[in-house]
A and B are shown apart, each in its own frame.
Chain A
C-alpha cells in the first residue's frame, strides 16, 4: 500500500514534467535543432574558417590570411557583377512568382470543369527534377535548334495563308521602344535571338526558368493558405456585405499575408542560394555575365581550385539574406498579430 503510494507521486511528477511548458517546449524542439546544428552548423563553421585561409583544392586546412579573401573577391569585376545579378535574378523571378501564384491560386480554389487536369499541367514544372528539366530548357533555348526561335520565325499557318509570329511580337517591341528608358530592339527573322548567348537575353532566360519552376510551388502554398481561411470568416464577410474586390482587399489579403510572406521569403532564399538553373543553362556565361554568387563561388572554389576564396564569396550572401529575412519575419509577425 505504501509502495503504491510511493510510486504514484513519481509517475505523477514525470507526467507533470511533460505537462510543463518549460520542459516540453525545448524537448520537442531539440531533435530538430540538434540535427540542424550538426549537419549545417558544423560545416558552416568550417566554411567560415576556410574563407579566412588560403586553402586550395579540397583540402580542409590552410594558412590563416584573415579577410584577404573577402577583399580580394570584392575587387574582382566578376564578383560585383555576380552580386548584382543575384539581386536582380532573385527579385525579378520572385516578383513574377508572387503575382502569378496569387492570381492562379484564386482561380484554382473554385471548382470548375477540367480543374483537375489543368492543375496537373500546372504542377508539372515543380514535379520535374530541376536538374533534368533545366537540361530540357538547354535544348529549348539552343543556339541553333531552339523551338522558341523556330516558332517565332516560321510560317505557322498550315495550308495557304501566312502567319509569322515575329511580326506581332516586333510590333509590341516597337511600342516598348517608344518608352523613354527602355530599348529592346526587334527580332531579326534571319538571325533569331540567342537566348543563352546574349547577356540580357540570358538573364531573362534564367529568370524565366526559375520563375517557371517555382510558380507551382508558390501556388500550392497560396491555395493552402486560402483553404485555411475558416468558413466562419467567409460567412462573417458575407454578413457584413463584403464581396468581390472589397472582400479580397479587406479580408482575404490580410489573412493571406503571413503565408504569402513566408512563401516569398522561402522563394527568395531558395533562389538566392540555388545554383542549379544558372549552372546548367549558362554556367555563368556569356562572358561571365550571368554568374550568380553561388555559381561564381563554385567556379572560384571548385573549378579553379581556390577553395578559400570560393568560401569567402559564398559567405557574402549571408549578411544580405540575413537582413532580408529578419525584415520579412518582423513584417510577418506584425501582420499576424494585427
Chain B
C-alpha cells in the first residue's frame, strides 16, 4: 500500500483517503484547535489578577520536595492560610535541584525574581546579593529559642558579620542497612572498621555495601562525613585549608580498602538516585542517605522496609560525626520589594515548624530546635514501629555543618559544588594516586580557592 501511496501522490491522484492524508488531516485539525488558544496561552504570564482582592503578593521558589505530599501541603494549605491572614497572595514555584544555581544567578542578573529563594545548601557565594537575615534570626530566637550550631555555622559569616541566609531546616543523614544480611555475616555497622570487615563478606553474598564516590550529592556528603569521623577536615576554625593531614590519608586508606574488597566500579558512575535504587532493588546491604530510601521502601516494598534498620553514621578512629544531607536555606534578595512580608513569612514558618516537620514525614528537621516539641514522642508514634526515633539522636549529636569545624563559606561552597572531595577519593580508590598524593593534590586544588575568596574579603 505504501508504494501505491507514493505513486498516487506523485501523480496527484488519489480517490480514497490514504493513510498519510489521514495523519496529516488529523494533525492539522489538532493544530487548528490549538491555534485558537495561541494568543491566550502566550499572553498568560503569572496570573496577576487572580486574587485581586489581596493587597500584597509574595513569590517563593524552592525545590520539588521528594515527598510530593509536602509540596501539596505547603503550596495548597500552609501558604494559602498564611496568605489569608496577612492579606497576601503567596505564589510558590518549584524547580529541580540541579537548576537552583542557574535560576538564582539569573535572578541576580535580572535584578528581579522571587522574594524568597529556597536553596538546599548554604549559599555563601551569594552573600552580596541578599539582605542580612539577622532580623529573622532574632525574631525566631525570641519565640522558640536559639538556633542550632548546625544552622548557625552554616549561615553566618564571621568575617562580614552577616547572616547570608536563614537556616530553615536540615536533613539528618543516617545509614540504612539490611538487618538480615548483616546478621548473616555476624557484624553490626557501628564503626567504619566493622564496615571494612563486613564489606568483602557482603560482596560475596551478592549484596555489597553502597558507598558512592561519584560527582553527586550523596557521595559528597558521605565522604566528607567519613573524613570527619577520622578527624580530617577541609578547613579549620580559622578557615585555613587543612585537607592534607594524616587523618585524611587514613580516611582515604579506609575507603580504598572498602572499595577494593567490597565494591565494584559502578560506584564511580552513580547519580544521587543510584544508592536509592540499588537499595530498593534489594541488592545493596548498606547505604548512607536521608530517609528517602526507607520511605520509598515503605511504599513499594514493605518487606524490605521491615528488614531495614536506620542508624547513625559509623564511628571512625576519632569520633562519630556526620553531616546534614541537605540544608534548607531561605534567602531574601536585596532587590525584593517585599522584604518585611518575606521576613514575616519565614519567621512564622519556622516558629510553627510542627506542620512542616510532620508533612515532610520527618525529613525536615527545624534548624531551631525549639520550634518543634516532643521529638521523641512524635518519631516514636510513626506507624513503622519507632524506627525513626534514632533520627532525633542523629540530628542532635551527630550532625555537623558543611565546613566544620569552621563556618560554611564561599570556598567550602565551591569545593563542594565542584565535587573535589569525591574526586580525591575516587582517584585514590582506583589506584591512580596514593593516599598521600591524593591529599597533596587536593591541597593544591583547595589552596587557590581559599586564597581567591579571601582576596575577595569573604573569608
Contacts and interface: CB of A to CB of B under 8 A. Distances in A.
User: Is there any pair of Cβ atoms, one from A and one from B, under 8 angstroms apart in the complex?
Assistant: yes
Interface of A: 54, 56-60, 111-117, 138, 142-145, 191, 194-198, 202, 283-288, 298-299, 302-307
A104 B103 CA distance: 41
B432 to A, nearest CB: 9
What DSSP secondary structure best describes chain B's contact surface? helix
B442 to A, nearest CB: 12
5 contacts: A56-B125, A197-B268, A285-B215, A288-B423, A303-B418
Nearest to A145: B277
Contacts of A197: 214, 265-270
Interface of B: 2-3, 5-7, 19-20, 101-102, 104-109, 125-126, 128-129, 214-215, 264-271, 274, 277-278, 281, 283, 410, 413-414, 417-419, 423, 426-427, 452, 456
A192 B119 CA distance: 37
B126 A57 contact: yes
Closest 9 CB pairs of A and B: A197-B269, A58-B108, A58-B105, A305-B125, A285-B215, A111-B6, A143-B269, A143-B266, A194-B269
Contacts of B106: 58
Given A58-B106, A194-B266, A286-B426, A142 B274 contact: yes
Nearest to B427: A287
Nearest to B6: A111
Nearest to B455: A54
Contact of A114 (B2, B104, B414, B452): B2
Nearest to A55: B109
B278 to A, nearest CB: 5
A236 B134 CA distance: 84
Contact of A57 (B7, B19, B108, B278): B108
A143 B266 CA distance: 6
Contacts of B278: 144
A59 B130 CA distance: 12
Given A197-B268, A304-B418, A116 B5 contact: yes
A144 B276 CA distance: 11
Contacts of A306: 414, 452
A57 B128 CA distance: 9
Given A197-B266, A198-B265, A112 B3 contact: yes
A148 to B, nearest CB: 13
Given A283-B215, A285-B419, A287-B426, A305 B410 contact: yes
Contact of A138 (B266, B267, B271, B423): B271
B409 to A, nearest CB: 12
Nearest to B420: A288
Contact of A115 (B6, B108, B283, B427): B6
A138 B214 CA distance: 15
Contact of B414 (A117, A143, A304): A304
A305 B413 contact: yes
Contact of A303 (B20, B101, B266): B101
Given A59-B128, A144-B277, A305-B414, A194 B268 contact: yes
A223 to B, nearest CB: 14
Nearest to A284: B215
B196 to A, nearest CB: 21
Nearest to B274: A143
B215 A286 contact: yes
Contact of A116 (B2, B102, B417, B426): B2
B423 A113 contact: no
B112 to A, nearest CB: 12
A194 B101 contact: no
B129 A59 contact: yes
A284 B271 CA distance: 12
Contacts of B7: 111
Given A111-B7, A286-B214, 10 more contacts: A54-B456, A111-B2, A143-B266, A145-B281, A194-B268, A197-B269, A198-B269, A287-B215, A299-B418, A305-B126
B269 A286 contact: yes
B456 A56 contact: yes
Contacts of A142: 274, 277
Most chain A beta carbons < 10 A, residue from B102, B107, B419 = B419
Contacts of A58: 104-109, 126, 129
A113 B5 CA distance: 10
